[in-house]
């Protein structure tokens, strides 16, 4: 969307079965350091077509987390014979030297690259570009927490901007478990204090989860509640993503 960060609607889940207990690092009224409630997501600023040299691109700003994704291809694959009549997807996630408090050279995050690949592969119609390869390059320019779900959602938008055929957009949301509390769309400080985490990537139109990542110990009721929160928030985020694409299309037709 072309509006400024902070003016866009949040995509917080509507499921609030109980009032969250207070986290140890937050104030006594249950308000987080950035003013949000425990079940409230950050405003999402999304825009496509930000990298002119790419076949498709998108940028995303969720609070202090900022990501740019570029898509190149389809191009002729060197492994065309191996992949027969199905296309190939390459994903790479990197951080700029100034993205985190630890300064240094641009670094590739191989674990994030692998998760991004798994989250997107099930949404792309690989048969639509046989014996060719599509490259997805995600660059985190500022790390403010919950980078991976922002990367996945932004990459899905960039693929759509590139005209890659997909079954549906992929919206991703994560949350942290801190004691008895669930904190959706966590900040960096919240992730550092978490007892466990859950990230879900989802295709709302198909009601299909493409990737589920869980760390730490979870009870069955708590996991169920966490998944419901992420699913509801993912549906709302997907609506914002579709609106972004519609606005970009209307601007291109003017």
pTM: 0.85
CA distance 155 to 153: 5
Q: Is pLDDT at 108 greater than 60 in this prediction?
A: no
Output 218 or 2, whichever has higher pLDDT: 218
pLDDT digits (tens, 9 = 90+) for 134-191: 999 999 999 999 999 999 999 999 999 999 999 999 999 999 999 889 999 999 999 9
* 203 contacts 123 by C-beta, under 8 angstroms: yes
Phi, psi of 125 (to 5 degrees): -85, 90
Tell me the mean pLDDT in the region 102-123: 79
Please give the structure tokens belonging to residue 82. 């191996």
Split at pLDDT 50, 70, 90, the class of 76 is: confident
CA distance 153 to 69: 10
Residue 239 CA to its chain's centroid (Å): 14
Q: Is pLDDT at 122 greater than 70 in this prediction?
A: yes
* 187 contacts 34 by C-beta, under 8 angstroms: yes
CA distance 7 to 9: 7
pLDDT of residue 217: 87
Output 57 or 132, whichever has higher pLDDT: 57
Phi, psi of 122 (to 5 degrees): -75, -15
pLDDT of residue 9: 52
pLDDT of residue 8: 52
Split at pLDDT 50, 70, 90, the class of 20 is: very low
* 146 contacts 174 by C-beta, under 8 angstroms: yes
Kindly give the pairing relationship between strand 56-62 and strand 65-76.
antiparallel
């Amino acid at each position: 969307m072309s509006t400024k960060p902070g003016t866009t609607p949040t995509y917080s889940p509507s499921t609030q079965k109980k009032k969250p207990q207070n986290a140890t690092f937050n104030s006594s009224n249950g308000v987080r350091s950035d003013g949000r409630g425990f079940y409230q997501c950050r405003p999402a600023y999304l825009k496509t077509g930000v990298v002119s040299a790419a076949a498709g691109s998108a940028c995303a700003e969720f609070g202090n987390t900022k990501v740019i994704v570029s898509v190149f291809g389809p191009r002729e694959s060197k492994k065309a014979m191996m992949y027969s009549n199905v296309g190939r997807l390459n994903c790479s996630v990197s951080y700029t030297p100034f993205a985190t408090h630890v300064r240094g050279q641009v670094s590739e995050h191989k674990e994030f690259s692998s998760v991004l690949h798994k989250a997107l592969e099930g949404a792309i119609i690989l048969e639509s570009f046989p014996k060719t390869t599509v490259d997805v390059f995600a660059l985190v320019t500022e790390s403010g927490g919950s980078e991976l779900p922002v990367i996945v959602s932004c990459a899905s938008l960039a693929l759509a901007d590139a005209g890659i055929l997909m079954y549906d957009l992929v919206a991703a949301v994560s949350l942290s478990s801190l004691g008895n509390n669930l904190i959706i769309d966590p900040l960096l400080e919240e992730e550092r204090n978490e007892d466990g985490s859950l990230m879900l990537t989802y295709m709302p139109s198909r009601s299909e989860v493409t990737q589920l990542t869980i760390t730490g110990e979870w009870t069955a009721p708590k996991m169920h509640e966490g998944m419901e929160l992420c699913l509801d928030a993912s549906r709302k985020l997907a609506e914002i993503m579709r609106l972004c694409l519609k606005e970009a299309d209307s601007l291109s037709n003017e």
